[in-house]
Amino acid sequence: MSASGGWQGMCRRLVAPALAGLLLMEALAACTYLSSDGPARATVETGAVIKSERRAPVGFVQLDLSAAAVNAANAQTHALTPLMARVLSGSESRHGSIGVGDVVNITIFEASAGGLFIASEGGAPRGGNFVAIPPQQVEASGSITVPYAGQVAAAGRTPQQVARDITERLKQRAVEPQVVVSIGDRRSGSVSVLGDVNQPTRVEIDPGGLRLLEAITRGGGPRSAPYETIVTLKRGNRTTQTLLSSVVKIPDQNPYLSPGDIVFLTKEPRFYLTLGATPAPGSLGGLNNRRFTFENDTMSLAEAAAKSGGLDPNRADPGAVFLYRLESRRALEEMGVDLTGYAGNEIPTIYTCDFGRSDAFFVSSEFLMRSRDIIFVAEAPAVGLQRFTASLSGLTSNASAVAATRSY
């Protein structure tokens, strides 16, 4: 054996195993440093003093998004929309009734001078054949006081009724009396408009009545969009709610109000989440999140997917689009689902939509989203393998080096 051949053989025997070991270490390191969204489970649990008990997975129902499922689910979605109870509808008109606390103006006319209120000829000059009684507030007993007529019931009566009563009491003492009664300051028929309005205020109910939408308008209108504004109406010890958009569109959701009602507006944005193989956060016009809000009263699954950027063409499995929600027991029973093993009225449910089918876009366009729904798009099966092989691409040069060393 030549000297050169001996050295070459020795190099191959010494260097090749070392390079192979280095290659193996780098491969293991590549496996260790594969991309991840967070720490490994073992890392989190390391050094923990108390660990929570392992619980059984939550039982759920999985359904294909068929036409029957869409109809049953949408019916429940509509049923969940808050609507104001009809029992709370106020009277169509208060007919100008006087209430306790209202300030009343009274003017008494006489046909000629020399009567009870008008001075006789030759007396002090005056500008007309009438006298104005000082304004007075209706007492807690519901009455007012009129000179020479005494205590007159006012609460619950119209100004015209009170005027006729006073006229009858003064007929025997005044000269053909005529009485005019008006409400100077209405304080008993007010409605409070508060919350997410531009000008929180107290609104007086007109004689012809006051509807809910008009009261909100007098409060400066809502500060938020109607589809995300909840209107709460409190009357006595009863409370009911509705969407402001429903008040605008549905006649019986715009009732007449009653004295003492409280109208409170609250902004409650409705939103949904998108996870999985969808465009990366920040790629949609700078939106750096996966939480998207509704932009109307209703939103379909197709609209929601489009707003979040659709499916990632490089990673998504179009046949594995899932929608997570808590579905009502009644809706699932209408779909024919056996719920014997499930308790409660809300069942964890996953709807599956195959976007690889041509009819999926029609079905998803009819399926209505709900607030807090979660859309999850699974990755295509080949994506995981592609990610792993990409992490090993940097080792090919080392492998070539080892092969070259063996050729000595």
103-185 and 189-267 agree in CATH topology: no
- Judged by average pLDDT, the poorest of 3-12, 39-48, 282-291 is 3-12
Domain with residues 61-80+271-387, CATH architecture: Roll (3.10)
Under 8 Å between Cβ of 148 and 116: yes
Whether the per-residue pLDDT at 334 is higher than 60: the answer is yes
The pLDDT, as a whole number, for residue 1 is 47
Average confidence score pLDDT of the chain? 81
Segment 376-388 shows an average pLDDT of 76
Domain layout of the chain by residue ranges: 61-80+271-387, 103-185, 189-267
Instruction: Quick: pLDDT tens for 73-126.
Output: 999 999 998 888 754 555 544 556 888 888 999 999 988 776 777 766 644 445
Q: Span 103-185: which CATH code? A: 3.30.1950.10
The pLDDT, as a whole number, for residue 115 is 72
Question: Structure tokens of 133?
Answer: 């009684």
pTM above 0.95? no
The pLDDT, as a whole number, for residue 7 is 46
Instruction: Quick: pLDDT tens for 137-184.
Output: 999 999 999 998 999 999 989 899 999 999 999 988 888 899 999 988
Torsion angles phi and psi, residue 59, rounded to 5: -70, 140
Torsion angles phi and psi, residue 227, rounded to 5: -75, -10
**HSE-up of 251 (CA within 13 Å, CB side)?**
0
The pLDDT, as a whole number, for residue 85 is 74
Instruction: Quick: pLDDT tens for 219-266.
Output: 999 999 999 999 999 998 899 999 999 999 998 899 999 888 999 999
**137 bridge partner residues:** 103
Under 8 Å between Cβ of 206 and 97: no
Distance CA 57, CA 390 (A): 33
For the chain, counts of helices (H) and of strands (E): 11, 16
The pLDDT, as a whole number, for residue 400 is 59
Instruction: Quick: pLDDT tens for 176-210.
Output: 899 999 988 877 778 999 999 999 999 888 777 88
Domain with residues 189-267, CATH architecture: Roll (3.10)
Nearest to 108 by CA among 149, 144, 141: 149
Q: Which amino acid is at 128?
A: G
